[in-house]
Structure 1
Amino acid sequence: MSAAPSVTTLEDEVAHLDAKLAVLRPAQTSARDYALKYLCAAMSTMCASGVTNPFDVIKVRQQLRTQLPGQSANAFWAVGAQMVRAEGPRALTHGFAASMMREFTYSGMRLGTYEFFKDTLNSASNGALTREGVALKVLAATCSSSIGSFIANPTDVVKVRMQAHYPQGRPYHHTAHAFASVFREGAATGVPFGGVRALWRGAEATTARGVILSISQIASYDQVKQSLKAHGVMREGLPLHITASLFAGLCCSVMSSPVDVVKVRLMTDKNRELKGVFHGVRTILVNEGPMAFYKGFSMCWARLGTHTIVSFLIFEELRKLVGIAPV
């Protein structure tokens, strides 16, 4: 009769200790584990990008429109329907190959090396940056996303170019042709390293977006998971992964949309009408108003929210498959 309460108490104690150990687990991780984390991150985000590519195309088309905010013609269903009617269903797959290349480098880096930077910064600070603290997560997300965003900028430029609308017909035959065209376009300006500069056009906005996105997505996912487990609200498993990823998807959509709009405008600005990030922000603000920075937000949320959920669910399952602890 007296055994039942002690069993229940023991289970509660084990669950509580498990949550604490998950938060305070040691940082010793092998190079093999870091490599596996990168591959798991790249594979999961590539799957997510494949699912959300149609949303991404519609979002880019919305962000490139310059009519006044609130006009129904810019609604995602109107843009999507117009695309299918005018260009066929395959228009929703534009930029797919470049998107896969981008995910492997950019998202693989920002998500796959996040824990490497967490471990490194925690060790370098002799524990001053605690694993349960927000500061460590923010700094780790900043480091991983800054590097990944800059390296992957050319794939982002080509992806956006291939997803944009061209009334006179698409100028790019395939992904390799788009890379070459952008390079030649920059080289033709006569500016030193013009071709390389063209491929890295908008890198400032890309990096800023990557940092904001990663802090609001990866760090928030990590923090929500940690808090729910530490307070005994939820245990490690699918329901916890879904809950944390839903919160992270909304958070990163709200935070990254303005920078994303500026980034897309810069990357598709063939005539160099925008002189840089700050000039782009000012031009959009003056000509279209502050709400222009949230053009395509519904598609941004649909894409990023779905992308976040799919990415983290697959990421966690792949980690389990290869024997790596959850995030």
Structure 2
Amino acid sequence: MSTLTVEPVEEKVDVLDRKEVQRGRTPTNKEYFMKFVCAAMSNMTASGVSNPQDIIKVRQQLRTQIPGAKHNAFWAVGAEMIRTEGPLSLMKGFTASMIREIVYSGLRLGAYEFFKDKLYAASKGALTREGITLKVLAATCSASIGSALANPADVIKVRMQAHYPNGSPYRNTRHAFATVFREGMNSSAAKGFPVLGGFRALWRGVEATTVRGVVLTISQVCSYDQIKQVLRGHGIMQEGMPLHLTASLFAGLFCSITSNPVDVVKVRLMTDKNRQLHGVMHCVKTILVNEGPMAFYKGFSMCWGRLGTHTIVSFLTFEKLRQLFGIDPM
């Protein structure tokens, strides 16, 4: 005697939704563009919220005291900034940060699914959508392009956030761009090509920036994507705010651990106006010799606070904007 089993309607709908996703409908160019817009808007929101934490992290990474020194703690750095430079000092580099997020995060997050779809199609199914390899390759492509193109805005952001005992040499973001460009034109690195030297100054540290962008995107976007997939696939959680929050919490921790060392190198190179550091490897060696290996985790607590906050806000906003624009969840 056979037994008739009746599945709840919600389970049937969920199964149908998963099958539709597995069929891999290719989004239109308009949908890809809207994903870019959603990514840029969500990361601008997150960057605005976390800017105070970002500037404190930069100040910590530029200090050369013994690692773990009490006066290098994030609360001490923040209190000192407010006392000596005023509360608005915690929003320095804000405009440059917004410009950076449009280019950098708009591409690294917004183009992530574009590269996933294109690489999946190019592999003719050899790279499965459920596998981590496809995600890592897609993140590498989107992050490399976004990081390289956004490097000038990153340089300006870091320069404006750095501490200057005699006052900031930059009146505003436009003045900072012009100053750094002229600095490159007049440097010995220009070698008779001043305009080229100016552009080289704006793209200083691009190697570290790109490596950091790739490492951060793989550990942040891929982990978010993978955690969502696992939790949803095993029926532990359904699509919605709790799932987005859980996945973004883990993603924020992972990307903070992996990206902090590269971030320290990037910040040191970008603020090296006197060209005392001759590239990424020389910077790494200098830090190791003068400050020890733990120097690569200077500012980690604030990095985690900043990246954790940024990750949660950006992904929650990203998913909500996708819903508002009628785009499927990531």
Fold agreement, TM-score > 0.5: yes
1:149 correspondence with 2:152: no
Deviation at 1:203, TM superposition (A): 0.1
> Retained in 2: the 8 A contact 1:23–1:226?
no
What pairs with 1:220-239 in structure 2 (closer than 5 Å)?
220-239=223-242
SS of structure 2 residue aligned to 1:112? coil
Partner of 2:204: 201
Distance in 2 between the 1:90 and 1:309 partners?
Answer: 24
For residues 83-232 of structure 1, the aligned pairs below 5 Å read 83-190=81-188, 191=190, 192=193, 193-232=196-235
Distance 1:310 1:18 in 2: 30
Q: For residue 298 of structure 2, what is the aligned residue in structure 1?
A: 295
TM-score (norm 2): 0.95
Note if 1:275 corresponds to 2:278. yes
The runs of 5 or more residues in structure 1 that have no matched partner are none
Render the CA deviation track for 1:6-28: whole Å, top value 9, x for unaligned: 55x33474265157337525141
Q: Distance in 2 between matches of 1:293 and 1:229?
A: 36
1:324 alignment partner AA: I
TM-score of the aligned structures, taking structure 1 as reference length: 0.96
Task: Report SS of the residue matched to 2:8.
Answer: helix
2:40 aligns to what? 42
Per-residue CA deviation, residues 271-320 of structure 1 (Å, 9 max, x unaligned), is 00100000000100110001000000011000000000000000000000
Q: Structure 2 vs 1, CA of residues 82 and 203 (structure 1 numbering), >3 Å: closer, same or farther?
A: same
1:67 equivalent among 65, 76, 81: 65
| Structure 2 Cα separation of the partners of residues 229 and 18 of structure 1 | 14
Name the amino acid aligned to 1:208.
V
Query: CA 1:253/1:22 → structure 2, altered by over 3 Å: closer, same or farther?
Result: farther
Change (3 A) 1:218 1:84: same
Which of 71, 74, 78 pairs up with 1:76? 74
SS at match of 2:109: helix
Q: Which runs of 4+ in 1 moved over 4 A?
A: none
Q: 1:317 aligns with which of 303, 320, 325?
A: 320
1:249 is matched with which residue?
252
Give the Cα separation in 2 of the matches to 1:12 and 1:278.
55
Give a deviation string over 1:166-202, Cα, whole Å, max 9, x none.
0011100000000000000000014131100000000
**AA aligned opposite 1:289:** G
Alpha-carbon distance, 1:244 to partner: 0.3
- Amino acid of the residue matched to residue 125 of structure 1? S
SS of alignment partner, residue 138 of structure 1: helix
For residues 313 and 25 of structure 1, do their structure 2 counterparts lie closer, same or farther at Cα, with a shift above 3 Å needed? farther
Provide the rounded CA distance (Å) in 1 between the counterparts of 2:32 and 2:50: 27
Deviations 1:143-179 (A, max 9, x none): 0000000000000000000000000111000000000
Change (3 A) 1:23 1:256: farther
Identical amino acids, percent of aligned pairs: 67
Aligned residue-pair number: 323
- Structure 2 gap ranges (5+): none
- Once residues 89 and 23 of structure 2 are traced to their aligned partners in structure 1, the CA distance between those partners, rounded to angstroms, is 47
Measured in 2, the distance between the counterparts of 1:22 and 1:270 equals 54
Q: Within 1, Cα distance between the matches of 2:292 and 2:23?
A: 48
Q: Paired residue for 1:240?
A: 243
Rounded Cα–Cα distance in structure 1 between residues aligned with 2:160 and 2:187? 21
CA contact (8 A) 1:216 1:251 kept: yes
